[in-house]
Amino acid sequence: MEDNTIICRCEDLTLADIRAMIKKGFHNPQEIKRLTRCGMGPCQGSTCRELLLKEVAAASGKSIGELEMTTFRPPTKPIKAKSILMGGDHDEI
Amino acid sequence: MTSLQKPEIAIVGGGPAGLSAALSAVRQGAEVMLIDRDPALGGQLVKQTHMFFGSKKEYAAIRGIDIPGQLMFALEEDGKGKFSPILNTTVLGYYDDGVILAEKEEEQAVLIKPQKTIIATGAAEKMLPFPGNDLPGVYGAGAVQTLMNVYGIKPGTRVLMIGAGNIGLIVSYQLMQAGVEVAAIIEGAPKIGGYLVHATKIRRAGIPIKTSHTIKEAYGNKSVEGALICSLDENWCAVPGSDLDMKVDVICLAVGLTPQTELLWQAGCQQKYIPELGGYVPLRSEKMQTSLPDLYVAGDVACIEEAGSAMVEGKIAGLFAAADLGYDEKVEERYHGFSRELEELRAGPTGAKIRQGLSRLNGGAEVC
């Protein structure tokens, strides 16, 4: 059942992929994110973050609030290079 | 080249919370820039074709879709020269120095350095892990509502609704109104989560609501052709032999919302995981001020609730963001009125979960 249950749609990760990482001893969502790219695709984790946290919490016997949260960085969504090129000067700020 | 814009107050998100915050702030006399990613203001209200409950002050018995127009009318009247909405613009980042980076029309960078910022970004739909959950035909309830009520497109012909909270019940009813068959509503919990008045309307129309049921898998060749569901025992474990095959072409997930807090994380304000409030939510004072003094919150990003309370939170955030800039006329009196409204909306059994979550957020026992 876990093999074709998608957790991260953007990066094509299944429940089996996530559980394999946990089995290897990674009990930290931040580590799993960095090693698998879970949550690093176009939607920036809006679908999978909660699912990843739940899996790690269940496996490690911790509550979600006790886990290390993944880092959030700009941009919140994919952007065109054009937007960056047309951006403002640093000096203005 | 983009020049740096410096409004007194920037509000991110033009849903019920953001619009109310804008109105409240301009009424105090502050200058407000409202940023929204959509082409029209209103947020999720633009697809709420049903009438609202709650307090009369917060638009009870008015259809959700009619609320943004009323707020916009008031903003045009009271916010002359002070209110500037920027549409089709997505905020991409909130930086340490209080600068907001946004992208307009998907091609132009916008830099904004407001004195105060109100984050009213709302919520995102939760996903459910099950085999086949990536098949075309698996939708979030919000997406189905957008397709039907904003674009006039039917999502399919026969729907399995997952989740019997208010969203699951209301969207099921709207599917029926659109002429789409709803095969069943299933709910993992032993009780219907939404209001009984919605549930009875559904039951009268002959749609079964199966509590203590979950989806085991979705199947289909290129898109959803059916789903296997099963019943759950009191420990939420599948009951052997209870599988039921349902032929549907749409599976609609209404399994809850989670606050869209990414800008708050970027900003570095303190947050706490409170399941009753939908997940991680920012710590804030009664002024709706976060742990960062220039950053305020309102609406679902602060606590998954309803549009009514989101609007009152917006009024409070807008009031104090303006007051902190010196526009402090009648602040105490106005705050008193708003906080009483909020209390009324959260009174009674339906507000129990929210009250419990808020008390935990404000230093109550740690959640496990």
The answer on B248 and B134 residing in a single domain is: yes
- Close Cβ partners of B74 (under 8 Å, ≥ 6 residues apart): B23
The answer on B115 and B148 residing in a single domain is: no
Residue ending a domain, choose from B255, B285, B318: B255
**pLDDT interval class at A3 (50, 70, 90):** confident
Considering the domain boundaries, does residue B213 fall inside one?
Answer: yes
Can you tell me the mean pLDDT for B273-292?
96
* Three-point CA angle A2, B141, B87, nearest 5°: 120
Q: What is the ipTM of this complex?
A: 0.92
The answer on B100 and B131 residing in a single domain is: no
Instruction: Name the closest residue on chain A to residue B123, using Cα atoms.
Output: A46
Considering the domain boundaries, does residue B3 fall inside one?
Answer: no
pLDDT score of A91 = 52
Number of structural domains in chain B = 2
Give the model confidence (pLDDT) of B337-358 as tens digits: 999 999 999 998 889 999 999 9
Contact B167, B304 (CB under 8 A): no
- Close Cβ partners of B206 (under 8 Å, ≥ 6 residues apart): none
Q: Name the H helices within chain B.
A: 16-28, 67-78, 141-145, 166-177, 196-204, 262-267, 307-323, 331-345, 352-361
Instruction: Determine which of A7, A13, A19, A72 to mutate to test the interface with B (most B C-beta atoms within 10 Å).
Output: A72
For the beta sheet containing B89-94, the strands, ordered from the edge strand earlier in sequence to the opposite edge, are B89-94, B100-104, B108-112
Contact A39, A48 (CB under 8 A): yes
Number of structural domains in chain A = 1
Instruction: Calculate the average pLDDT of chain B.
Output: 93
CATH number assigned to the domain comprising residue B90: 3.50.50.60
The answer on B142 and B227 residing in a single domain is: yes
- d(Cα A5, Cα B132) in Å, to the nearest integer? 6
pLDDT score of A80 = 84
**pLDDT interval class at B262 (50, 70, 90):** very high
**pLDDT interval class at A86 (50, 70, 90):** low
Strands B213-219 and B295-297: unpaired
The answer on B269 and B246 residing in a single domain is: no
Look up the domain containing A59 and give its range.
Answer: 6-92
SS (H, E, C) A16-38: HHHHHHHHCCCCCHHHHHHHHCC
Cα B261 from chain centroid (whole Å): 12
Inter-chain touch A76–B93, beta carbons under 8 Å? yes
The answer on B117 and B145 residing in a single domain is: no
Phi, psi of B33 (to 5 degrees): -110, 125
The answer on B165 and B209 residing in a single domain is: yes
The answer, for A43 touching chain B at a CB cutoff of 8 Å, is no
> B158-195 burial, b if ≥16 CB within 10 A, otherwise e?
bbbbbbbbbbbbbbbbbbbebebebbbbbbbeeebbbe
**pLDDT interval class at B363 (50, 70, 90):** confident
Is the per-residue pLDDT at A12 higher than 50? yes
Q: Which of B124, B228, B250 is nearest to B175 (CA)?
A: B250
Can you tell me the mean pLDDT for B320-344?
97
Considering the domain boundaries, does residue A41 fall inside one?
Answer: yes
The answer, for B197 touching chain A at a CB cutoff of 8 Å, is no
The answer, for B236 touching chain A at a CB cutoff of 8 Å, is no
Inter-chain touch A48–B127, beta carbons under 8 Å? yes
CATH number assigned to the domain comprising residue A60: 1.10.10.1100
Instruction: Determine which of B134, B224, B236 to mutate to test the interface with A (most A C-beta atoms within 10 Å).
Output: B134
Considering the domain boundaries, does residue A57 fall inside one?
Answer: yes
Considering the domain boundaries, does residue A70 fall inside one?
Answer: yes
**pLDDT interval class at B59 (50, 70, 90):** confident
Considering the domain boundaries, does residue A1 fall inside one?
Answer: no
Phi, psi of B205 (to 5 degrees): -80, 0
Chain A CB contacts of B106 under 8 Å are 79-80, 83
Considering the domain boundaries, does residue B195 fall inside one?
Answer: yes
Q: B196-204 vs B166-177: helix axis angle to the nearest 10?
A: 30
Please tell me which of the candidates A15, A44, A84 has its beta carbon nearest to residue B262: A44
Look up the domain containing B140 and give its range.
Answer: 127-255
Give the model confidence (pLDDT) of B250-260 as tens digits: 999 999 999 99
* Three-point CA angle B157, B133, B257, nearest 5°: 90
The answer on B20 and B73 residing in a single domain is: yes
- d(Cα A40, Cα A25) in Å, to the nearest integer? 21
Q: Which of B19, B35, B29 is nearest to B91 (CA)?
A: B35
Inter-chain touch A76–B111, beta carbons under 8 Å? no
Considering the domain boundaries, does residue B2 fall inside one?
Answer: no
Can you tell me the mean pLDDT for A45-49?
93
Inter-chain touch B91–A88, beta carbons under 8 Å? no
- d(Cα B115, Cα B125) in Å, to the nearest integer? 31
Residue ending a domain, choose from B255, B289, B324: B255
The answer on B329 and B219 residing in a single domain is: no
Residue ending a domain, choose from B255, B287, B312: B255
pLDDT score of B239 = 96
Considering the domain boundaries, does residue A39 fall inside one?
Answer: yes
Contact B15, B43 (CB under 8 A): yes
- Pair of tokens at residue B54: 């709650």
pLDDT score of B368 = 38
- d(Cα B39, Cα B41) in Å, to the nearest integer? 7
Is the per-residue pLDDT at A88 higher than 60? no
Can you tell me the mean pLDDT for A77-86?
82
pLDDT score of B182 = 98
More confident residue, B213 or B49: B213
- d(Cα B311, Cα B58) in Å, to the nearest integer? 7
pLDDT score of A81 = 84
Considering the domain boundaries, does residue B4 fall inside one?
Answer: no
Considering the domain boundaries, does residue B368 fall inside one?
Answer: no
How far away is chain A from the Cα of B262, in angstroms, using its nearest Cα? Answer: 6
Give the model confidence (pLDDT) of B123-172 as tens digits: 999 999 999 999 999 999 999 999 999 999 999 999 999 999 999 999 99
Cis bond leading into B208, ω under 30°? no
CB pairs under 8 A between A and B: 99
Inter-chain touch B91–A44, beta carbons under 8 Å? no
pTM of the model: 0.94
Is the per-residue pLDDT at B304 higher than 90? yes
The answer on B20 and B111 residing in a single domain is: yes
The answer on B285 and B223 residing in a single domain is: no
Considering the domain boundaries, does residue B80 fall inside one?
Answer: yes
Is the per-residue pLDDT at A65 higher than 50? yes
Chain A CB contacts of B102 under 8 Å are none
**pLDDT interval class at A83 (50, 70, 90):** confident
C-alpha gyration radius of chain B? 21
The answer on B112 and B216 residing in a single domain is: no
**pLDDT interval class at B367 (50, 70, 90):** very low
> For residues A13, A14, A18 and A24, what is the CA-based torsion angle, rounded to 10 degrees?
-100
Percent of chain B with pLDDT strictly greater than 90? 88
